[in-house]
A and B are shown apart, each in its own frame.
Chain A
Amino acid sequence: MHAIQQQYWAVRDYLSPVLKESKFKEHGRITPEEFVAAGDFLSYKFPVWTWERGDASKARDYLPTDKQYLVTRGVPCLRRATSLAYTDADEDAERLLNFGDSSDGAADEWVETHAGRKPTVDSAANPGEIDDIPDLDGDQELASAIGNVSISSTTGATVGETPDLDDIPDMEEEGLEEGEDEATAVPKSVTSGAVIDVSQIEVAKGNLLQVRTYDVMITYDKYYQTPRIWLIGYDENRTPLTPSQIFQDVSADHALKTVTIEAFPQSATLQAASVHPCKHASVMKKVIERMNVGVVEEQLAARKKEGKEGKKRWGFGRKSGKDDKNASAGGEEEEIEGMRVDFYLVVFLKFIASIVPTIEVDSTTAF
């Protein structure tokens, strides 16, 4: 059933036309050219992001061959999203975003959680933290007992598929290397200095930190005309995460609803977790509108300060239709451009960060 659905999506994606006209401020969608421009800006500003070619047989002809998708590897994820206790105090942090015509009452709504989450959270205020991680310790013990076989028993879907212990051979080798090597660093139990090592975290059971890392990919979704985000996770032992483990890092409002495991479009076989893009355009429109007001105000203020002498161009972004209107209104207004499309992916990452609050995808805090 799932396979048929994926076939259907592939055909739909193939048939849908490539968006030609730039309308990112009007409805939050972008053209492939704008995706490339925004991606170039993102990878220039934040070199952790790089362009990838992907599988040649899956290349999209509306994107340059060497710029098929963006990737950043080893994004740390220190805590599980499920461990972010959701208390009454956090309710203010929840924002309901409305889409579509609010007049007809049938507007879609999107819950943005952790919107106002402070950089530091008083752990005493979150007493439920430990209880909220289901079965994690049990898994851990079992996993180490049978030689780190990753099993996923946190959801009902995979219960009963515990591997047969006899199947996993004991492969410890004796006599391969003699004794301990004094020059090999071993994880120390006592930390000295401010930096702690990942390996110490897993040793200390009481510690809530379990550092996972994620490879994050951004592709362009032709049907929804928005970027789309993909996640491949690793646990602290660098073993690939199972789908149910990945869902622990997705905020509860979005896990299993908007985040699903699907075939990664730039590879023949790879599967990855993805945030479904059906709401991206409308959310992006909202966010861009809000930010655009701020940007325009800022630019107006800056321009007033500069006075007449300041004939400085505000960047090199393409002009939108709004600019042309402004231009006809008066020569000076021409310079007020608002937010450029180059910023699209920077904003997009901030939006994604609200869905996966503990994965540090948003390295763009400078903005």
Chain B
Amino acid sequence: MPVVQFNPFASLVQPAFWHELTRLKVDVLRLSDDELTLAGSYSVGRSIRDRETGQDVALGCNLSLGADAFDKTPTVPALSVSARGVFKNFNTIDEFKAADKAALFNTVADEMWTSIIDHKDTSKLNRFLLITFADLKKYQYYYWFAFPAFVAKPSWEIADNWKAAEEHLSADQLTSVFNALHADTKPYFIVKLTDGAAQLHTINQADTLLTGSDSQSIIIGFLDPSASPENPGWPLRNLLAYLLALYPSHTTFLRVLCWRDSEIPSPGKSWKSRFGVVSHPAGNDAASKPTALGWERHPTTNKLSARMADLAPMMDPTRLADQAV
């Protein structure tokens, strides 16, 4: 059986975030390099039909940071969920380079694992880490994201590849999932199928639902930022780790719904959500902490390295004056 491959998160930092960081650095943080909490968000995976070739182009699996990332209660758009992150800014490029990145990463991963084992908490499953160095004079921002994910050994496998959700769920059932998500968007949920409808439950109820007699009608669902047909998004990875750690006896077959519809499709169009049955051999030592990985790779070199946003063309007053007419 093929191994389930997850589409990693790709960070998207809005220029407004760098502006806000600049303001914060100059007016509030000054030389402090304490860790702060960030709020990013991700939405359902989107694809666009190319008008000239008729092909569907899947857009990236993005986690974005905006100007309100430092706010305690950021607003998230419809069918998006907020993800909390740890933010650490360094004062010099040398500190940035010399930082013990593995230690920072492990701290976040440990915190995630503890929340799973001790609190059965799903709210930290999509944690991320962002380290930055802001060169305010040059309007250059060095940054590196990490999206920690726990590695399953052996890997999760999928029996019959990912299929369109329509093949397994009726349009009525999909519509009721959509309505429930639209009213209250959750990153992870459990769908309980009934005749012609579907009920949404929180993951905390997995205890009763997975062990119930009608486990065939239970589907694990998550808001999927990936639009690639073969690969579910990164959040599923930690959700599966969560289920494997807490309910190891029920992971031999898990029915998974990758939710990707931001609107009810108009007549003639199909639903974009995907469905698959994943499995993991039961009976391994689930309680021990698995290894975690997830540093973002540089988009052009595909190496593990930090990247830089150069906002001088849009922030430097002299450059702006040059192109003004």
Contacts and interface: CB of A to CB of B under 8 A. Distances in A.
A57 to B, nearest CB: 11
A164 to B, nearest CB: 11
Contacts of B151: 181, 183
B77 A50 contact: yes
A5 to B, nearest CB: 8
A270 B19 contact: yes
B96 to A, nearest CB: 8
Contacts of A292: none
A47 B16 contact: no
Interface in A41-82: 47-48, 50, 73-74, 76, 78-79
B324 A239 contact: no
Given A147-B307, A211-B57, A78 B50 contact: yes
A293 to B, nearest CB: 27
Is chain A's interface secondary structure helix, strand, loop, or mixed overall?
A: loop
Interface in B1-59: 3-8, 10-16, 19, 22-23, 43, 46-48, 50-52, 54-59
Nearest to A188: B230
Interface residues of B, number: 82
Contact of A172 (B266, B303, B315): B303
B97 interface: yes
B314 A149 contact: no
A176 B106 CA distance: 11
B5 A183 contact: yes
Given A171-B306, A184-B5, A269-B19, A74 B59 contact: yes
Given A173-B295, A198-B60, 19 more contacts: A2-B320, A47-B78, A74-B59, A78-B48, A78-B50, A147-B301, A147-B308, A152-B313, A168-B308, A171-B305, A173-B305, A176-B304, A185-B231, A186-B5, A193-B230, A195-B57, A197-B58, A261-B314, A267-B19
24 contacts: A73-B64, A76-B46, A147-B301, A150-B313, A151-B310, A157-B322, A158-B313, A158-B319, A163-B310, A168-B308, A169-B93, A173-B304, A182-B3, A185-B6, A185-B230, A197-B228, A209-B50, A209-B57, A213-B12, A238-B12, A238-B299, A243-B323, A268-B23, A270-B15
The 4 A-B residue pairs with the shortest CB-CB distance in the complex, in nearest-first order: A237-B299, A242-B313, A2-B324, A185-B231
